[in-house]
Amino acid sequence: MELQKLNPRVVWLWRFQGLVRVLMFWAPVSVGIGIGLSQVMPGFLAGVIAAGFWFFQLLLAILWPGLAYRYFGYLIREQDLLVQRGVFFRRRTSIPHNRIQHVDTRQGPFEQLLGLSRVLVFTASGMAADGSLPGVGHELAETIRDDLSARGGDDGV
Protein backbone atom coordinates (compact mmCIF):
# COMPACT_ATOMS: atom_id res chain seq x y z
CA MET A 1 0.00 0.00 0.00
CA GLU A 2 1.83 3.07 -1.30
CA LEU A 3 0.83 6.17 0.65
CA GLN A 4 0.79 9.66 -0.88
CA LYS A 5 3.38 12.06 0.53
CA LEU A 6 2.68 15.64 1.56
CA ASN A 7 4.11 18.52 -0.45
CA PRO A 8 7.88 18.69 0.41
CA ARG A 9 7.51 22.43 1.12
CA VAL A 10 5.72 21.44 4.33
CA VAL A 11 9.15 20.70 5.86
CA TRP A 12 10.00 24.40 5.54
CA LEU A 13 6.60 25.35 6.93
CA TRP A 14 7.16 23.20 10.02
CA ARG A 15 10.71 24.62 10.41
CA PHE A 16 9.34 28.19 10.27
CA GLN A 17 6.72 27.32 12.87
CA GLY A 18 9.30 25.53 15.02
CA LEU A 19 11.71 28.48 14.90
CA VAL A 20 8.94 30.88 15.92
CA ARG A 21 8.22 28.59 18.90
CA VAL A 22 11.92 28.44 19.80
CA LEU A 23 12.18 32.25 19.79
CA MET A 24 8.85 33.20 21.33
CA PHE A 25 8.33 30.38 23.83
CA TRP A 26 11.50 28.39 24.51
CA ALA A 27 13.81 31.40 24.76
CA PRO A 28 11.98 32.94 27.77
CA VAL A 29 11.52 29.47 29.28
CA SER A 30 15.27 28.83 28.98
CA VAL A 31 16.04 32.17 30.63
CA GLY A 32 13.67 31.20 33.45
CA ILE A 33 15.39 27.84 33.84
CA GLY A 34 18.78 29.57 33.94
CA ILE A 35 17.65 32.03 36.64
CA GLY A 36 16.06 29.22 38.66
CA LEU A 37 19.15 27.00 38.48
CA SER A 38 21.47 29.88 39.34
CA GLN A 39 19.89 29.92 42.82
CA VAL A 40 21.18 26.42 43.56
CA MET A 41 24.40 26.20 41.46
CA PRO A 42 27.11 28.47 40.06
CA GLY A 43 25.77 31.00 37.55
CA PHE A 44 28.06 29.87 34.74
CA LEU A 45 26.91 26.25 35.01
CA ALA A 46 23.25 27.33 35.15
CA GLY A 47 23.80 29.43 32.02
CA VAL A 48 25.40 26.52 30.16
CA ILE A 49 22.52 24.18 31.06
CA ALA A 50 19.89 26.76 30.03
CA ALA A 51 21.71 27.51 26.75
CA GLY A 52 22.08 23.77 26.08
CA PHE A 53 18.36 23.28 26.62
CA TRP A 54 17.55 26.11 24.22
CA PHE A 55 20.02 24.76 21.64
CA PHE A 56 18.40 21.33 21.90
CA GLN A 57 15.00 22.91 21.11
CA LEU A 58 16.60 24.72 18.16
CA LEU A 59 18.03 21.45 16.82
CA LEU A 60 14.65 19.78 17.21
CA ALA A 61 12.95 22.61 15.32
CA ILE A 62 15.38 22.14 12.41
CA LEU A 63 15.67 18.36 12.28
CA TRP A 64 12.28 17.07 13.45
CA PRO A 65 10.23 18.31 10.44
CA GLY A 66 12.28 16.11 8.09
CA LEU A 67 11.48 13.05 10.18
CA ALA A 68 7.82 13.99 10.54
CA TYR A 69 7.57 14.42 6.75
CA ARG A 70 9.17 11.03 6.20
CA TYR A 71 6.58 9.24 8.35
CA PHE A 72 3.51 11.16 7.17
CA GLY A 73 1.35 9.67 4.45
CA TYR A 74 -2.23 9.57 3.30
CA LEU A 75 -4.36 7.71 0.81
CA ILE A 76 -7.88 8.33 -0.44
CA ARG A 77 -9.24 4.85 -0.96
CA GLU A 78 -12.54 3.73 -2.38
CA GLN A 79 -14.28 3.57 1.01
CA ASP A 80 -12.17 5.65 3.36
CA LEU A 81 -9.41 8.19 3.88
CA LEU A 82 -6.29 6.69 5.45
CA VAL A 83 -3.87 9.00 7.28
CA GLN A 84 -0.60 7.87 8.88
CA ARG A 85 1.64 10.03 11.04
CA GLY A 86 4.09 10.08 13.94
CA VAL A 87 7.82 9.50 14.41
CA PHE A 88 7.94 7.83 17.83
CA PHE A 89 4.22 7.54 18.44
CA ARG A 90 2.68 6.30 15.20
CA ARG A 91 -0.97 6.72 14.45
CA ARG A 92 -2.92 5.32 11.50
CA THR A 93 -6.44 6.67 11.05
CA SER A 94 -9.24 5.39 8.85
CA ILE A 95 -12.15 7.76 8.23
CA PRO A 96 -14.96 6.14 6.24
CA HIS A 97 -16.27 8.42 3.48
CA ASN A 98 -19.88 7.88 4.55
CA ARG A 99 -19.12 9.31 8.02
CA ILE A 100 -17.60 12.60 6.86
CA GLN A 101 -19.67 15.57 8.07
CA HIS A 102 -17.64 18.34 6.50
CA VAL A 103 -14.17 19.07 5.17
CA ASP A 104 -12.32 22.37 5.73
CA THR A 105 -9.25 23.81 4.06
CA ARG A 106 -7.28 26.39 6.04
CA GLN A 107 -4.29 28.59 5.27
CA GLY A 108 -2.23 30.50 7.80
CA PRO A 109 0.22 33.27 6.79
CA PHE A 110 3.21 30.91 6.41
CA GLU A 111 1.09 28.45 4.43
CA GLN A 112 -0.04 31.24 2.09
CA LEU A 113 3.60 32.19 1.58
CA LEU A 114 4.47 28.62 0.60
CA GLY A 115 1.27 27.94 -1.39
CA LEU A 116 0.12 25.22 0.99
CA SER A 117 -3.16 24.39 2.71
CA ARG A 118 -4.34 22.21 5.57
CA VAL A 119 -7.22 19.82 4.93
CA LEU A 120 -9.30 19.03 8.04
CA VAL A 121 -11.80 16.18 7.98
CA PHE A 122 -14.61 16.17 10.54
CA THR A 123 -17.03 13.41 11.52
CA ALA A 124 -19.78 13.43 14.18
CA SER A 125 -17.35 12.10 16.79
CA GLY A 126 -16.52 15.46 18.37
CA MET A 127 -15.40 19.03 18.00
CA ALA A 128 -11.86 18.27 16.76
CA ALA A 129 -11.00 17.05 13.27
CA ASP A 130 -10.66 13.26 13.02
CA GLY A 131 -7.99 13.58 10.37
CA SER A 132 -5.84 16.37 9.00
CA LEU A 133 -3.46 16.71 6.06
CA PRO A 134 -1.21 19.57 7.14
CA GLY A 135 0.76 20.51 4.03
CA VAL A 136 -0.93 19.96 0.71
CA GLY A 137 -0.56 22.18 -2.35
CA HIS A 138 -3.46 24.66 -2.33
CA GLU A 139 -5.10 23.44 -5.52
CA LEU A 140 -4.77 19.79 -4.56
CA ALA A 141 -6.23 20.62 -1.13
CA GLU A 142 -9.30 22.14 -2.77
CA THR A 143 -9.70 19.09 -4.99
CA ILE A 144 -9.41 16.75 -2.00
CA ARG A 145 -11.89 18.86 -0.02
CA ASP A 146 -14.48 18.84 -2.81
CA ASP A 147 -13.94 15.15 -3.50
CA LEU A 148 -14.33 14.09 0.14
CA SER A 149 -17.29 16.42 0.79
CA ALA A 150 -19.15 14.97 -2.16
CA ARG A 151 -18.93 11.43 -0.84
CA GLY A 152 -21.14 11.84 2.27
CA GLY A 153 -23.64 9.24 3.42
CA ASP A 154 -25.43 8.03 6.54
CA ASP A 155 -23.74 9.79 9.47
CA GLY A 156 -24.38 6.93 11.90
CA VAL A 157 -25.86 9.24 14.53
Partner 1 sequence: MEEVSWKRLHPASIWVNVLPLTWRYLAAFWPLLVIALFGGGMGLGLVDLFLMLGTVGAGAASSLVHYATLRYRVEGGKLEIRKGLLHREFRSIDPERIQNLERVRNPIHKLAGLVEVRLETAGDVKTEGLLSALSEEAASELIGAIDLARRQMVPEEEPQENELLTQGVLELVGYGLSSGKPGLVLVMVLGAIEFGEMLAMRDHQAPSWVSDALQVRADDPLQFAAALLGLVLLAVVISWMGSAFFSLVRHFSFRLVRTQEGLYTEEGLITRRHVEIPTRKVQVVMAFEPLMRRLMGYGTVYVETAGLGVVVGGARRAEAVIPMVERERLGAVCHQVLPLVDENPWSTPLLPPHRNALYRAVVAWLIQWVPMVGLLVFFYWPWGLLGLCILPVGILGAWLDFRFQGWRVEGEAVVSRRGFWKRRTWLMARDKVQSVHLEQGPLMRRYGLGRLHILVADGEVFLPDLAWDRANDLLERLRPLSAEEE
Among 46, 95, 133, 148, which residue interacts with partner 1 (rule: CB under 8 A)? 95
CA–CA gap between residue 100 and residue 105 (Å, rounded):
14
CA–CA gap between residue 106 and residue 144 (Å, rounded):
13
Q: Does 123 bind partner 1 (CB under 8 A)?
A: yes
Segment interacting with partner 1 (CB under 8 A) among 21-29, 35-43, 92-100, 139-147: 92-100
Alpha helices in 39-87 (DSSP H): 43-71
Among 26, 97, 111, 118, which residue interacts with partner 1 (rule: CB under 8 A)? 97
SS3 at position 138: helix
Closer CB to partner 1, residue 20 or residue 124? 124
- Give the number of residues in contact with partner 1, rule: CB under 8 A: 26
Please state whether beta strands 80-85 and 102-106 pair in parallel, antiparallel, or not at all (unpaired).
Answer: unpaired
| Binding track, positions 20-59, relative to partner 1; x by CB under 8 A | ----------------------------------------
CA–CA gap between residue 107 and residue 66 (Å, rounded):
21
The DSSP H or E segment spanning 110 is: helix 109-114
Contacting residues toward partner 1, per CB under 8 A: 79-80, 88-99, 123-127, 130-131, 153-157
